[in-house]
Structures are given as structure tokens and as C-alpha cells.
Amino acid sequence: MAGAGILGGGAAAGRSTGAPPRGGGGGGAQLLRWRRRRRERWLVALGIALHAVYMLSIFDIYFKTPIVHGTLPVPPRFSPPARRVVLLVADGLRADKFFEPDAEGGFRAPFLRSVMREKGRWGVSHARPPTESRPGHVAIIAGFYEDPSAVTKGWKANPVEFDSVFNQSRHTFAFGSPDIVPIFCSSLSHSTWGTYPHEYEDFATDASFLDQWSFDQFHGLLNRSHDDPKLRQLLRQDKLVIFLHLLGCDTNGHAHRPYSSIYLNNVKVVDQIAEGVYNLMENYFKDNRTAYVFTADHGMSDKGSHGDGHPSNTDTPLVAWGAGIKSPKYLAHAEESDDGFRFVDDHKHHMPTPQEWGLAGIERLDVNQADIAPLMSTLVGLPCPVNSVGNLPSQYLKLSKADEVEAALANTKQILNQFLRKSQLKQSSSLYFKPFKPLANHSSVLDQIEDLMSARDYETAMRYVENLRSLSLAGLHYFQTYDWLMLMTTITLGYIGWMVNVIIHVLQSYTIFPSNPFLKKNQASLLQPMSEKVYIGGCLLAGLLSLLLVLEKSPPLYHAYVLMTVFLWTQIFSNIQFLESIWRELSSRTFSSIINLLFISGVALFVLEFLVMSFFERKLYTWCFLIVGLLAAIFILLFIPGNPFVAVYIWASCWFISIFTLMPAEIPDNNNLVIFSGALIIVIGMASRWVDSKTDKIKFGLYLSLANKKGHRLLMLFFIQVILVGLSSIMVWLSTSHRAQNKELLPMHQLINWSIAGSSLVLPLFSPPSILSRLTSIFLGFAPPFLLLSIGYEAVFYSAFALVLMGWILVECAYLYSSGERGSSLGYSEVGSADERCLQLSDLRIPLIFMVLFNVAFFGTGNFASIASFEISSVYRFITIFSPFLMAALLIFKLFIPFMLVICVFSAITKLVRVPRLGCYFLVILLSDVMTIHFFFLVRNTGSWMEIGNSISHFGIMSAQVVFVLMLFALTNIYTKDIEVSSRRLSSQKEL
């Protein structure tokens, strides 16, 4: 078989991995093969680097870090109403679960509910995706929405230094999770903080004790202060911030779901802690100068996950009371009209309060999550964090009219200073600077505001302040996307250049143009490096553009974008003679062949656009499989009569899998389905083994098996794999039943589960090398870990998906058989070995079908393109103690399993049809990049943050596919490299 470098090994490849061959009668052809292998390795490396670099362009275009250094804080010019502020954050607390009544008609948070009715103000805080713990806390405490690229640097540690309410405080006391508190306090000298060990975060127990731990630590701190004068002096200071992070709801929501009794009881625990903190503070200080803010960083979906922009994740409670906070305002039951304002999660400003909350008569004041930071700063007289983009919610504050305008003006000046700093930095580095014109006269506006305040026209002054603040935020956005046009143009040209280079390589290495004498005559010259003129021109252009970027003090990545694009187009122009010869070849073709080329290209484009649409509406796959199943069955009946069973099988398997893209993206728990799937997998394995023994009865069955199979070896291996599948089903039942009693995962269960999953992955390596035997063994080998990581219908999807993949193999066998019947030439030539043939236009169906099935693997078990699709409860049969890296690895492995099945079948089909595997890989990447460019233009920076987040996810998934597919090809090559097919033997029999 042919070698394919990183994607596969063989004799031919093995001989050509070192130095170029010398001498010999066949030295010329061998030298060409060696050159092609070297060029392929270079092209693969280039593709990985290009996609990795271009993927980062999204953050430079839309989401550059909002942090700008060199901005000075703006101290408030009024006396603060509070000396200290207490911030209570209930991690993962949904707004509706907090406000709604329980099953008995009472309310889960009686103390905070009494606060809303008697002491303070309330509303819903709207978070922005990604609704994760670190971004949520950064928004609450620092007042800005963290750069999304920070996720690539790790949300456990600060990727950059930023200002926060804690930084501005005189002293901060903080207790809570080791994943949150150190982010803000570890490098803060004026802080006293403590965290519990990571081992406390056990998903198999009731985690409300974590909240109690934080409260106990704070209670102990106050008690110690009675005997510690230094500590008592710290506590008696003004501008004090106390932060309690309450993780219980988040952990219990992940483990038991937010509708469980454990989660709902945790809401009561949080309320009790809020009451306890209030009583402690009031009894300790007795000066009525403490302000309290209660909120959450994010919510929780019904399936126990968070991350996306669904209201269940973005809606969090906000309750504020104490010094400086207004008393409740009771309203008449008149409906308010929508003023057009939208929060960061695209919620309307005037949202109706659900009747069951029992709060319709009390004024509701919703805020953006970043608005909480300036609220806390204003309460204790601190400057707003210098990078905050939050708007001060004045409706919460009990201040005089003059102080209210002063507070709002300080907030506006702080945002304006960020704008001025960004404008200054951009102007100092731009050769041609385009200012933000609406703020050209900001100085005169500030003077007008000061004059209005002196004249005590506070209402007009407040309008001016709010308008200036809005313009400042718009100006910040303007400079965030200042380089948009240049970067979009550069990246688009780079992707097109990459695709043209891939097309040139595929045409040069895997196709033949026998009718063009120019190609034969100049073949040697076409393989030489680029001409000197093109090389010199490319270097001069790259140098000129780099000089311009240096003068503009552009980031290093800008240089990478431009240089990579110039390099790709230099490569294209170096192959101009080859492109001209291709044009001549096409011009000499008949009209019918041109129409055929256009038709197939149109079909390919239609399929790719269908795949793009499926990212937004995965139910399209249902119609796709209903139609394709019918057409494939008709094809078998028409061209290979006498095989009605095969036609019915393909039709039934396609219709079976069409059900799953109608299923809810949020997978509900159903262990009965998981156990049923184990039995179904065993039945499918037995059926496959029976078919393997009857292949001589099928017209094209000899493609699927080999004559020299070792029956005893196959039978023994099959029984072992079936036993492992059965054991995994039993362990699913045992582990889940044990955990349902709120018990920890037994070490014995954990050991058995790990052992089953690990051993089952090794067994397929010992299976016979025929296509059907090896693929059946791979299917049975991946089944145990997939079952142990499944929670519902995705376990059945695994079987349905495997049936469709087998149907693909049968269709390819039928196509190969019918081609032989019609006398079609296989076109064998020296592509990689004597057994491979050149790629033909009709072979485009293989990467196209692969693309469809590969994307079905994305969406068949839910909505992979959403952050919330990562269902953490999937790993509880292997680990329950919180370990983010191990849990993430298990989740990713589960998602990889359907992809690896597709690639194993794809590799088997390339061997069956005798086409070069690496050539098909390049076609897959080419087709993927057509979708990548489409998604690149679909990325949004307006609208709801759910839409923006999904658009980024879609682009990232497609852009990463060159690396993603290559890695999976390398992994699955372990299982498929020695697959043998007997198609040449069958062809010889038919010729005889």
C-alpha cells in the first residue's frame, strides 16, 4: 500500500522518508515521489501554521483586549454613603430559581425577599457570554467583559493585570473557591483571603457545605478581631470590601441539575448565609454604614451546564440594601412601554416580571453585570476600576441630586479617559489616523456639564453626562475595530491563496492530464522552486508591508497575517506556467466535459452550503438522510439487481439516524437508553460477524473480506469485546444507581470502569485486517468507553451512526462493482504505489460524503458548536472530584469517538477504491476551507451575545479542522494502516 507520511505508512513511504534516492532504472519516478512527499509535509505544516494564526485573527478583528494601560483613576468628588461594602456572589444561581416560589407556595430566600420588600432594591443582572465563573466575576468586580481570547491563556490565572474594586479598596477580605478568590487577591498586598482545597469540590456530595465554609471563615475572622488589635484596626477602616464566594449552587447544579432538591435547598442555604452576614456586620459595627450587594456570576441550564447566552445562563439575581441604597419603590400595575434599550444578552430594558415571583408591584431595576462594579465603587467612595465599561445604576443609590450627578460624571470621565487613551495610542502609531468625530468636542461638553452643575440644573447635566458616556462607549468600540477592513482583506486573501495552493498540489501530484503535451515536456521544470523574479518580487512586497506595519507599531500577529498571505500568493505566481497549462487543458476539453466539471463543482458547493446552514438548523440533516437513504436504495436496486437486502439496509439505516437530529440539543438523562444501546451494539456486532461469514453470497462481498482469515482468532477476540460491552452496560447501571443515593464513586467501580475503557481500545489492533472484520472490531472497541461516558440518547446514536457508515461502505462497493461491470478503467499509475490510481473528478464524492458524516458527528449527539454542550455529568462514572483538565480530556475523548469512526471508514474506503489517502485529505481540507471563509464573514459583533458567541464557535471549529482532522487521521492510522482489500483479486476474476 502507498505511504502517506503522517497519515499512514507503507513500504513506499518508508523508503522515501530520508535522503533522495539515487541512480537506478526507476530512479526518476522515485525521485518525483520523494519530492512530492517532501512537498506534502511542507504543505501540511504550512496548513497547520496558517490556520492556527488565522484563527487568532478573529480576536484582533472583533475582540482585542479591552484593557488599556496608562489610564488614571477618577476619584469621586462627594462624600460616600457607606464605609464598607459586602459582596455576596452565589456562583451558578439562576434568577428564576431564586425568585420563584417552592412546591409548598413559600419562597426559598425569605430573608432576601424581605430585603426586597422593606430595605433595598432588586432586579436582574444580565451577564454576557461566555457565562463562566471567571468572566462573570471579572465583570462584577472589575466592570469589564474580559477579552474572549483569555480563555486560550487559561481562566485560572490572570492573563493580564487589570484594575478592580478590590485594587482600589483600602483593604479587601475574601473567602471562597480556590478557582476565583486568588484571581483577584493573590497579588494584592492589601488583602486578607482564604480558600478551601480543590478536593472539597466533590460532585458526588451536597456541596452546600462549601458556602458554609466561607461564612464560617468570615465569622471566625470577626471573632479573632476582638483579640487582635491590628485586625480590628483593618476592619474599622473606611473603603473596605468584603467578598464571600459561595460555590455550592454551581457544584450542585452541575452534579444534580438546577431543578433538583439539593440545588433548590442550596438556595435556602445561600439566603441563610446572607442573613447571617447581615446580622454579624450590623452587630459588629453598629454604625449603619455598611452596604450589601447580593448577586450571581451566571445561571445554569436545565441540564446542569452553563457558558452560552441562553436566558437561564445570563439572568442572575441582584439585591442591594444598606447604606446608600434606596428603599423599595411600590408601583401601580400600569405596564411600561419598551424604551428600545437592550442589555448585553439582548434582553429588553422593560421585561415583564413573572407573576409567580410575587414582585410585580415592586420596582424592578435590571442592570448589566458590569454595572455592579461602579455601583460598589460609588457606595464606598472608590474610583471606578480604570477599565470598567459599566454604567452606574443611579436608581439604586440614595444620594442628593448634586452627588448623583457627581457620581455619574466620575463614571463617565473614567470611560472617557479610556477612549482618550486608546485614541492617543492609535494616533501615535498610525501613518493616517481617522479620529472618532462625535467626541471631537468632548472638552467643551465637560465644561457645559460643570456649568450646568454650578447652576444646579441637575436634570440637564445628567442628560449631558449620560450622552457623553454613551458616546465614549461607542468610541471605545470604534477603536476596538479600527483595523477591521485591513485585517478582513488580508485574511480573506490568505485563505484564498491557501486554497489555490492546495488545488495546485492536488492537480500536480494526484491527477494526470494526458492530452496536454506541455505538461509532459516541462514536467521537470514545473517541480523546480519558484522563479527568481517572482521570489524577488514577493520578498520586496513582504519587506515593504512589514516596514509599514513597523512604522504603525502593529502587533506581531499583524506581521504574521500579512507575510503569510504574501508568501502564499508568491507561491501561486511561481506556478503560473502550470496554471496556464491547466487553462489550456480545460480549453481543449469538449463542451460536455466542461458541463460535467461545472455540474460536479455546483453539487459540491451546494453540499458545502448545506453544511453551513446545518450549523444553524441541524434538523436539515433529517431531511438529508430521508432523501439520501431513498436514493441510495434505488441506486442499489437499479445497478446491482438481486441484492434487495442491501438496499433495504441502507434505506433503514439512513432513516434510523435521521431521528437524532430532531432530538433536543440538551441531552436528558436516560440510563435505560444507555443500557439498551449496549445490547444493540452487541446485536450489531453479531450481525456484522454473520455477514462477514456470508460475503461470498453477495455480489460485491469479496471486497469486504479476505480468504485467509483466522476464524478461531476472530471468534475469541469477538467474544472478549462483546463481554466488555456487556460489562460496560452493567457498570453504567451500577455506577449511576450508587450515585443516585448521593454517595461517592466507589474506588472499585472507578477501577473497573477505567480498566474496561482502556483494554477495549487496544483489542481492535489484534483483529484480522479485512475491512469488515477490522471495522467491526473498532466499532466494538470504542463502544465501552462511549457507553460509560453517555447519559442518554447519544449512546443509541453511536449504533445508528455506525450502521450508516457501514451503508457508505456498501454503496462504495456497489459503485466499484458497477464500474467494473461497465468496464471502467481504474487508471492505476505511479501516484504513490502500484496499487493506487490517480484521482478522478468522480472521486470528489468521497471527501464530500466524509464532510457530511463528519459534521453529523458534531450534531448527532447535541449541539457541539455551543459551549453549553459539554455535559460534565458524562464523566461521573470515571471521576467526581473536581479536576478540570481530566474532566475536559474525558469529554473531548467522548466527542472524538464518532469522529474516529468516520475517519476509520474513510481510510478503509480510500484503500478499497485505491485512491491516495493523503490526496483525499487535501480535498477534505480544501472543502473545509470553503466553509471556513463563509463562516469568517458570518462572524458577528452585533446582536445578541448568543449569536456572536455561536458565530465565533462556528468559525473556530471549521478553522481548526485542518489540525483536528490531521490529528484524528494520525490516531486512527494505528487501527487502519494494515487493512487489506481484495478488490484487485476480484477484478482479475471478473476479467477472466
Binning pLDDT at 50, 70 and 90, where does residue 395 land? very high
4, 30, 47, 530, 813 from 34: Cα distances, Å: 11, 6, 20, 18, 32
Residue 787 has pLDDT above 60, yes or no: yes
The dihedral region occupied by 144, where left means phi > 0, alpha psi between -120 and 50, and beta the remainder, is beta
* pLDDT tens-digit map of 945-961: 456 667 777 787 788 77
**What's the mean pLDDT when you consider all of the chain?**
82
Residue 423 has pLDDT above 80, yes or no: yes
Q: In DSSP terms, which residues pair with 123 in a beta bridge?
A: 318
Tell me the residue ranges of DSSP E strands in 151-265.
Answer: 171-176, 191-195, 240-246
Residue 986 has pLDDT above 80, yes or no: no
Query: Packing angle between helix 248-256 and helix 208-225, nearest 10 degrees?
Result: 170
- Rank 252-256, 337-341, 472-476, 983-987 by mean pLDDT and report only the highest: 472-476
Q: What is the C-alpha to C-alpha distance for residues 151 and 143, in angstroms, rounded to an integer?
A: 18
- Rank 215-219, 334-338, 539-543, 672-676 by mean pLDDT and report only the highest: 215-219
- 3-state helix vs strand vs coil in the chain, percent to 5: 65, 5, 30
User: What pLDDT score was predicted for residue 282?
Assistant: 95
User: What pLDDT score was predicted for residue 244?
Assistant: 97
User: What pLDDT score was predicted for residue 19?
Assistant: 45
User: What pLDDT score was predicted for residue 142?
Assistant: 93
For residues 151-180, average pLDDT: 78
For residues 361-370, average pLDDT: 92
- The class level of CATH for 84-399 reads alpha beta
Binning pLDDT at 50, 70 and 90, where does residue 712 land? low
User: What pLDDT score was predicted for residue 941?
Assistant: 57
User: What pLDDT score was predicted for residue 153?
Assistant: 47
Q: Which residues of 919-928 are buried (b: 16+ CB within 10 A; e: fewer)?
A: bbbbbbbbbb
Give one DSSP letter per residue of 42-106, joined into a string: HHHHHHHHHHHHHHTHHHHHT------SSPPP---SS--S-SEEEEEEETT--HHHHHSB-TTS-
Binning pLDDT at 50, 70 and 90, where does residue 5 land? very low
User: What pLDDT score was predicted for residue 850?
Assistant: 93
pTM assigned to the model: 0.70
Of residues 978 and 194, more confidently modeled: 194
Q: Which residues contact 414 (CB under 8 A, 6 or more apart)?
A: 71, 73, 74, 374, 383, 384, 386, 388
For residues 872-895, average pLDDT: 74
Q: Per the omega criterion (within 30 degrees of 0), is the bond before 130 cis?
A: yes
Of residues 324 and 633, more confidently modeled: 324
For residues 90-95, average pLDDT: 95
Between vectors from CA 509 to CA 506 and to CA 514, what angle results, nearest 5°? 105
Q: Give the three-state DSSP class for 847.
A: helix
Q: What is the C-alpha to C-alpha distance for residues 330 and 773, in angstroms, rounded to an integer?
A: 74
User: What pLDDT score was predicted for residue 877?
Assistant: 76
- Within 13 A of 52's CA, how many CA atoms are on the CB side? 9
Q: Give the three-state DSSP class for 667.
A: coil
* pLDDT tens-digit map of 849-859: 999 998 888 77
Q: Which of 85-94, 361-370, 527-536 has the lowest mean pLDDT?
A: 527-536
User: What pLDDT score was predicted for residue 830?
Assistant: 41
Neighbour count for residue 99 (Cβ, 10 Å):
24
User: What pLDDT score was predicted for residue 824?
Assistant: 42
Residue 869 has pLDDT above 50, yes or no: no
Residue 99 has pLDDT above 60, yes or no: yes
Instruction: Strand 367-368: give its sheet, edge to edge.
Output: 191-195, 171-176, 240-246, 84-90, 290-295, 315-322, 121-126, 367-368
Residue 278 has pLDDT above 60, yes or no: yes
Q: Give the three-state DSSP class for 107.
A: strand
* pLDDT tens-digit map of 906-928: 998 988 888 888 888 889 999 99
In the chain, where does the domain assigned CATH 3.40.720.10 lie? 84-399
The grid coordinates listed for 975 are 487501527
Residue 682: closest CA among 723, 653, 641, 732? 723
Residue type, 887: M
User: What pLDDT score was predicted for residue 327?
Assistant: 94
H-helix or E-strand containing 494? helix 484-510
User: What pLDDT score was predicted for residue 705?
Assistant: 62
Share of the chain above pLDDT 70, in %: 82
* pLDDT tens-digit map of 291-302: 999 999 999 988
Of residues 199 and 475, more confidently modeled: 475
